[in-house]
Structure 1
Amino acid sequence: MAQIKIEDLKVQSDDQLAVQLSELKREQFNLRFQAATGQLEKPGRIREVRRTIARIKTLQSARKPVAGEGA
């Protein structure tokens, strides 16, 4: 899986982002497990997954309405 660009994430719906976030968290867990057991083939993938998770969380927080706004 190639690195996901922010432009690709912006066009996805909130539900799609939530699904992708859960998949990435599962992949991150598996990569950490592989690293701990010495079976990790692509160590750079951990960094890519971590950064993509951060991009998704940033988009999700930006899309949330700010509490008290408009009041």
Structure 2
Amino acid sequence: MKPSDIRAMSEDQLKDQLIALKKEQFNLRFQRATGQLENTARMRQIRRDIARIQTIARQQPAQASA
């Protein structure tokens, strides 16, 4: 997910996307624990997307007031 795509989202869309990514991360953790995880790189992608969304969501109120 690109930062420009995330910045274009509304606050509600960011929250929905964050919830969806956290659910996917939870499912991937279970797959890894049971030995069913095939795409291990997806764990890293999800973790970074979550961090990216949280960072941009934190920056948006600061930009609006400045």
Pairwise same-fold verdict (TM > 0.5): yes
Higher RCO (CA < 8 A, seq sep 6+): 2
2: CA distance, partners of 1:31 / 1:56: 19
Deviations 1:2-60 (A, max 9, x none): xx111111100000000000000000000000000000010000000000000000011
Equivalences for 1:20-31 in 2 at 5 Å?
Answer: 20-31=17-28
Compare the two structures and name the one with the higher helix fraction: 2
| Distance in 2 (alpha carbons) for counterparts of 1:64 and 1:27 | 27
Give the 4+ runs in structure 1 shifted more than 4 A.
none
Q: Which residue in 2 is equivalent to 1:64? A: 61
Query: Tell me, what secondary structure is at the counterpart of 2:36?
Result: coil
- Number of residue-to-residue matches in the alignment: 64
Larger radius of gyration: 1
Tell me the CA shift for residue 63 of structure 1.
Answer: 1.6
Mapped partners of 1:25, 1:64: distance in 2: 23
- State the TM-score, normalizing by the size of structure 2: 0.90
Stretches of structure 1 lacking an aligned partner (at least 5 in a row): none
Task: Structure 2 unaligned segments of length 5 or more: list them.
Answer: none
Hey, what does 2:11 align to over in structure 1? 14
